[in-house]
Amino acid sequence: MKTSKTSETYKSLKSDLLNGHFAPGAQMRIDAISKSLDVSVGAVREALSRLTSDGIVQNVPQKGFVVAPVSPDDLKDLTSVRIDIENRCLDLAIRKGDLAWEGRILSSYHRLSKTKLETDRKQHTYNPDWTAVHDEFHDSLIAACGSRWLLKLRDIMYIQAERYRRMAAPYVVERRNVDAEHKAIMEATLDRNSTLARKLLARHLETTAEIVLKCGFLVGDPVDQQLQKRGRPRVEDRQAR
């Protein structure tokens, strides 16, 4: 029962953190979270320890658990390293993947292409179902990689990138044909064209980072001030609600 409660608490807090419900740098108050989720203090502490391993929470001396900070420089660095790791995984998967791997990619892309992206076009809120199958699609591409350590590193960076992407969602103005990007990556991968597939995947990840940086959701970014003038809330204001 304890393991189940800890797992549920971990999943709930992870979802809230990825979606920006806790402001970067904010202290994760264990007692308040325990009461809010109706779970034990021990379950919250264990869940926060797991989230520290994921890199979205930090355990700071004298302060305890705090939400990991975000910044333009961090996103740029993360994207650069992530592209290197994702492309190494993808190249290995293309070399080693079998028919079952191809089938998984086709299946996940089909579900992704048939799932609505947003639940609220005015607020640009991502559909949780789309987010889940989007994760599945990107996982399927590199599933045949065969390197446990590469996949572990890739998963850590994927979580970090997802946090930026989801937190920025309400502030994104620029639109893109993300389905066409996914389809092109899928086709190059299934054609075993590693050079093209890696180029398309890199551009896909770069485009996401560029849009996040332009939208100004990072507190202190001059564009963030422009969004306030348009009547759209700052991230720290939205998270305080």
Residue 235 included in any domain: no
> Of the candidates 220, 131, 118, which has an alpha carbon nearest to the alpha carbon of residue 175?
118
Q: State which H helix or E strand residue 10 sits in.
A: helix 2-18
What total number of domains does the chain contain?
Answer: 2
Determine the residue type at 155: D
Q: What is the pLDDT of residues 86-119, one digit of tens each?
A: 999 999 999 999 999 999 999 999 999 999 887 6
Which of 67, 86, 111 is a domain's end point?
Answer: 67
Regarding whether 112 and 63 lie in a shared domain, the answer is no
Query: C-alpha dihedral over 151, 152, 153, 159, to 10 degrees?
Result: 100
Q: Give me the CATH number covering residue 15.
A: 1.10.10.10
Whether 54 and 144 map to the same domain: the answer is no
Given a contact cutoff of 8 angstroms between Cβ atoms, the answer to whether 118 and 124 are in contact is yes
Given a contact cutoff of 8 angstroms between Cβ atoms, the answer to whether 21 and 52 are in contact is no
SS3 of 76-136: the string is: HHHHHHHHHHHHHHHHHHHHHCCHHHHHHHHHHHHHHHCCCCEEECCCCEECHHHHHHHHH
Structure token digits, residue 238: 């939205």
| Domain-located, residue 239 | no
Last residue of a domain, one of 67, 96, 118: 67
| Contact status, residue 28 vs residue 57, Cβ threshold 8 Å | yes
Q: Is position 240 within any domain?
A: no
User: Mind listing the pLDDT tens digit for each residue in 172-189?
Assistant: 766 789 999 999 999 999
pTM, full prediction: 0.82
DSSP label of 140: H
102 in the same domain as 45: no
145 and 55 in one domain? no
pLDDT of residue 3: 63
| Residue 59 parent element (H or E) | strand 57-60
Helix (H) or strand (E) holding 67: strand 64-67
The reply to whether 49 and 168 lie within a common domain is no
**46 C-beta neighbours (distance < 10 Å), count:** 18
pLDDT at 196 over 60: yes
pLDDT of residue 235: 37
Question: What distances in angstroms separate CA 105 from CA 15, 98, 144, 171, 176, one per listed residue?
Answer: 25, 11, 11, 30, 22
Residues 63 and 83 grouped into a single domain: no
Look up the domain containing 105 and give its range.
Answer: 72-229
